Amino acid sequence: MEEKRSVKLALLGLGTVGGGVYKLLERQKEELLDKAGASLELVKILVHNIKKERAGVDASLLTDKWEEIIEDPQIEIVIEVMGGIEPARTMILEALNAGKNVVTANKDLVAEYGRELLDAAQKNQVDFLFEAAVAGGIPIIRPLKQCLASNEIDEVIGIVNGTTNYILTKMFEEGMDFEEALAKATELGYAEADPTADIEGLDAGRKVAIMASIAFHSRVTFSDVYTEGITKISAKDIGYAKEFDSVIKLLGVAHNTEWGIEVAVHPMIIAQDHPLASVRDSFNAIFLHGDAVDDVMFYGRGAGELPTASAIMGDVIDVARDIRYQCTGRISCTCYRDTLVKEFKDVKNKFFLRMQVDNKPGVLAAIASVFGVHKVSISKVIQKVITDGVAELVIVTEAVKEYHMEDAIEHLKDMDTTREISSVIREY
Amino acid sequence: MEEKRSVKLALLGLGTVGGGVYKLLERQKEELLDKAGASLELVKILVHNIKKERAGVDASLLTDKWEEIIEDPQIEIVIEVMGGIEPARTMILEALNAGKNVVTANKDLVAEYGRELLDAAQKNQVDFLFEAAVAGGIPIIRPLKQCLASNEIDEVIGIVNGTTNYILTKMFEEGMDFEEALAKATELGYAEADPTADIEGLDAGRKVAIMASIAFHSRVTFSDVYTEGITKISAKDIGYAKEFDSVIKLLGVAHNTEWGIEVAVHPMIIAQDHPLASVRDSFNAIFLHGDAVDDVMFYGRGAGELPTASAIMGDVIDVARDIRYQCTGRISCTCYRDTLVKEFKDVKNKFFLRMQVDNKPGVLAAIASVFGVHKVSISKVIQKVITDGVAELVIVTEAVKEYHMEDAIEHLKDMDTTREISSVIREY
């Protein structure tokens, strides 16, 4: 082992997360020598606008020229926190091909181009680490790739979007409706100006793709993930969930089955005594099951300046150790299988279905027979009379393939006695 | 990097955990090449009684001669699952000094002789890993040493003993008393014939010592840990905890404060909405707080054949990677500080105190003034009349140093109006 007492870093991007990394590097300056066995020296920060005032940041580090980083052979670690696909993808590939190690928090990129980037890292025998890309500060990538490596993991379920979990918590605990809770989340900075990626499950979908790839040792990309958001969840649905001693959560769900990988993001009704049910506010958690370890859960902050920077710096410290021990690239792509991802229509789920029907004799029997025709078994029915003429019907099914349920719903919609299909929510 | 396609292992001990390791090695035989980048070949198993029938185990691997292992230069990884201090300690030291990597699940040993063993590993540039020594299958050592390395961690609280958590869960959920719940735990194999180490908090104390050492970067040994068990917890206490929307858990508690490290194991009343409160049955969980990551929790099976084997095999796979990349020893002791461990009497806690007193005027005032004399502030008082002559008094205090509380209790015991101090439980 050759002792290497100083490792030079470059930071790409100085937004919220970049600022967090900068702060931690400053805060931990003296301890890092003990922690990483090397001093970590930030020598360049790539920014768009070099003239912008940035309080507390050493302006001499700023540059808007990528060449100053990529062409500097002394820079051994590049930390990418710009986000988005381009130019991040090109820069990371160039860095890897120049023999530099890369640490990133970029879930969009890893979910879509993970294979390409990991291949480039492997070819160049350098580290490409992305602990921060899934669930912010929560350690999950390293536990999966190392601690749990001897397991056959068959299930990964996660609350991996803090914005939607905050909204659903407010709806559940304070009786807010969706719009009100979203407004509150926006006010507190949990939701972005355009909240689509969060509330439609896209952000969660990317994270689930990454986790499924690592847990099941087979590449899953974002386009493989069925996504459905929380915009249709109503106070009424939440009321029923409470009646069932359950909560509603937006879950990323991945299973490795005999017939292929199942992967989706959608709201689910989940029993109150499941460990995920008590994950409140903007917290995230990932629950998984392995054949040896049984159930495990990881809980914490899935986003934010310092929690995300914590994950990035954990990776950076690890790269520094690898540089010192000349073993960069020791853990690269772990997708050594090539498992089929099932079409979502073939995935089995239990359903909670709420509908408004004419309140007259025979309606329930007719509806039950529709379910029967489409091979849907019913496990629970609740009927409430709303007004004289209309009854609200809640039906919970046994596990059934998505396409059978879809057919049953189309059929129900066509019935004269059906006034409205008010909600269809999966049940864990 | 030199490719190394086969790594030879020896297993010391073939009890429950050893059997689990054997099973996983068999089960994962083909996948391990992909996972570790090397085939893992078990070549020797050290047992006491070589003649004992062991179903499903290749008898040709058994030996009762340590020389056959320590003198075989081809064996690169020694997995110690015998437990206890000797001969485990001597064998591990000999293995490390012979340049072999060691993986162990031995918490007694690591909690007491961690420094000596890690020093020997460092001197010989080999790995000494012990993920399984704390909280069985739950990844916690690696997340602390790597993922969270950039944090200043100030709090680690854990439910790290499954037996006592099972007992407390039965008492809380099914109204069992302690003896009944212990009998049930024994029947199910959760509690050993002599349950002392579990119910008196000693087992948890060893795990907390190890976690505190790693989290705070300063060696804490088992003898530094104040331990108090759960034998005195009554159904009545649990009833009050419910009244306070709380539960009672046996917690390992470690804080890194300005004035030193605080470390203890004792029952605590903890609010129902704290993530640790929903950890039920024999599950374990470790909750911690870092300056960057904020709150994080790790949840799972803290013991058992396969969960523990899962952690051991995660370590073994990692050592195999290090052997392949010739970087064994890359993460060794992380205790680079030397922080004082505070005496327990100087630690501050909130207390729940339940006592029986004469039911007559002036008693409460007199008791309150005793607290005042000993600098104990009261935050809540509940008085219930049990019979005509006796009142049950529950007093919850603000945080106060242990020795002040102890003095106050001695003083209360001396009062003529005190019939009994029924329980004293700390509050989180």
pLDDT in tens, chain A (428 residues): 445 579 999 999 999 999 999 999 999 988 888 898 889 999 999 999 999 989 899 999 999 999 999 999 999 999 999 999 999 999 999 999 999 999 999 999 999 999 999 999 999 999 999 999 999 999 999 999 999 999 999 999 999 999 999 999 999 999 999 999 999 999 998 888 899 999 999 999 999 999 999 999 999 999 999 999 999 999 999 999 999 999 999 999 999 999 999 999 999 999 998 999 999 999 999 999 999 999 999 999 999 999 999 999 999 999 999 999 999 999 888 999 999 999 999 999 999 999 999 998 899 999 999 999 999 999 999 998 888 899 999 999 999 999 999 999 999 999 999 999 999 999 99
CA A121 to chain centroid: 23
pLDDT tens-digit readout, B219-263: 999 999 999 999 999 999 999 999 999 999 999 999 999 999 999
* Cβ-nearest to A293 among B291, B301, B316: B301
Residue B334 counted as domain residue: no
Would you tell me which residues 180-209 of chain A have a C-beta closer than 8 angstroms to some C-beta of chain B? none
User: CB-based burial of residue B24 (10 Å sphere; 0-12 exposed, 13-18 middle, 19+ buried)?
Assistant: buried
Domain that holds residue B412: 345-427
Amino acid at residue number A314? G
**In a shared domain, residues B104 and B205:** no
Interacting residues of A387 by C-beta distance below 8 A, sequence separation 6+: none
| pLDDT value for B3 | 56
| Interchain CB contact of A302 with B (< 8 Å) | no
**Does B25 share its domain with B97?**
yes
Q: Rounded distance, CA B196 to CA B1, Å?
A: 50
Of B324, B355, B389, the residue at which a domain comes to its end is B324
Is the N-terminal amide bond of A87 cis, ω within 30° of 0? yes
Better pLDDT: B297 or B384? B297
- Please report residues of A whose CB lies closer than 8 A to that of B321: 330-331
Q: Which helix (H) or strand (E) holds A89?
A: helix A88-97
* Domain-located, residue B329: no
Q: What is the pLDDT of residue B191?
A: 87
| Helix-then-strand count for chain B, H and E | 14, 17
Q: How far are the Cα atoms of A384, A386, A415, B209 from residue A389, in angstroms, in the given order?
A: 11, 8, 16, 67
In the predicted structure, residue B298 carries a pLDDT above the cut 90: yes
The whole-angstrom distance between residue B384's C-alpha and the CA centroid of its chain comes to 37
Residue matched to tokens 């602390």: B144
- The answer to whether B306 contacts A293, with C-beta atoms less than 8 Å apart, is yes
Map residue A381 onto helix, strand or coil. strand
Tell me, yes or no, whether A16 and A102 share the same domain: yes
CB A28 within 8 A of CB A312: no
**Chain B residue whose CA is closest to A17:** B292
CATH number at residue A315: 3.40.50.720
Is position A313 within any domain? yes
The answer on A255 and A199 residing in a single domain is yes
Distance separating alpha carbons of residues A307 and A292, to the nearest angstrom: 30
Asked if B279 and B173 sit in the same domain, the reply is: yes
Please tell me the distance from the alpha carbon of residue B334 to that of residue A207, in angstroms, as a whole number: 31
Among residues B269, B301, B333, which one ends one of the domains?
B301
Q: Indicate yes or no: CB of A298 within 8 angstroms of CB of B295.
A: no
**The domain spanning residue A213 has which CATH number?**
3.30.360.10
Please tell me which residue of chain B has the smallest CA distance to A296: B300
Q: Are residues B47 and B183 in the same domain?
A: no
Minimum Cα–Cα distance from A289: chain B residue: B300
Please give the pLDDT value at position A1.
46
Q: Do A155 and A289 fall into the same domain?
A: yes
pLDDT value of residue A141: 96
Would you state the pLDDT for residue B388?
A: 80
In a domain, B81, yes or no: yes
Mutate to test the interface with B, among A9, A150, A283, A310 (most CBs of B within 10 A): A150
Helix (H, G, I), strand (E, B) or coil at A282: coil
Q: Is A42 helix (H, G, I), strand (E, B) or coil?
A: strand
Please answer yes or no on whether A139 and B137 come within 8 Å at the CB atom.
Answer: no
Residue B293 located in a structural domain: yes
Can you give the CATH number for the domain in which B404 is found?
Answer: 3.30.70.260
Interface mutation vs chain B, best among A126, A147, A325, most B CBs within 10 Å: A147
Taking CA–CA distances from B138, the nearest residue in chain A reads A296
Same domain, A319 and A295: no
Final residue of a domain: which of B324, B355, B371?
Answer: B324
Flag whether A214 is in a domain: yes
Q: According to the model, what pLDDT value does residue A4 have? A: 55
Tokens in use for B303?
């013991």
Q: How many structural domains does chain B have?
A: 3
Residue B192's pLDDT is: 86
Q: Which two tokens stand for residue A132?
A: 């921060």
Annotated binding site of B for NADPH: 107
Question: Does A159 lie in the same domain as A113?
Answer: no
Q: Which of B36, B290, B314 sits opposite A310 (nearest CB)?
A: B290
Min Cα–Cα distance to chain B from A127, Å:
13
Instruction: Establish whether A16 is an annotated binding residue.
Output: yes
pLDDT digits (tens, 9 = 90+) for B143-181: 999 999 999 999 999 999 999 999 999 999 999 999 999
* A209 assigned to some structural domain: yes
Same domain, B316 and B267: no
**What integer pLDDT is reported at residue A3 of this predicted model?**
56
CB contact under 8 A, B322 and A327: yes
Mark whether A313 and A403 lie in a shared domain: no
Those residues whose C-beta lies under 8 Å from the C-beta of residue A92, and which sit 6 or more positions away, are: A78, A80, A102, A104, A109, A117, A128
B16: pLDDT strictly greater than 70: yes
Q: What per-residue confidence (pLDDT) applies to A139?
A: 96
Same domain, A155 and A279: yes
The bridge status of strand A400-401 relative to strand A128-129 is: unpaired
Instruction: Report which of residues A389 and B104 the model is more confident about.
Output: B104
- d(CA A245, CA A29) in angstroms, rounded, equals 49
- Residue B349, in any domain of the structure: yes
Q: Which residue in the set A35, A142, A307 is minimally distant from B292, CB to CB?
A: A307
What is the mean predicted confidence (pLDDT) over B347-356? Answer: 97
What percent of chain B is modeled with pLDDT above 90?
Answer: 92
| pLDDT classification of B1: cutoffs 50, 70, 90 | very low
**Residue A151 structure tokens:** 């397991």
Residue B344: which of B263, B283, B286, B234 has the closest Cα?
A: B263
**Rounded-to-integer distance, Cα A215 and Cα A158, Å:** 13
Question: In Å, how far are B163, B165, B179, B413, B423 from B230, measured between CA atoms?
Answer: 11, 10, 11, 22, 11
Q: Which residues contact A353 (CB under 8 A, 6 or more apart)?
A: A394, A395, A396, A397, A409, A421, A423, A424
Q: Are B83 and B133 in contact (CB under 8 A)?
A: no
Dihedral angle sign, alpha carbons of residues A134, A121, B36, B151: negative
- Check if B93 contacts A (Cβ < 8 Å): no
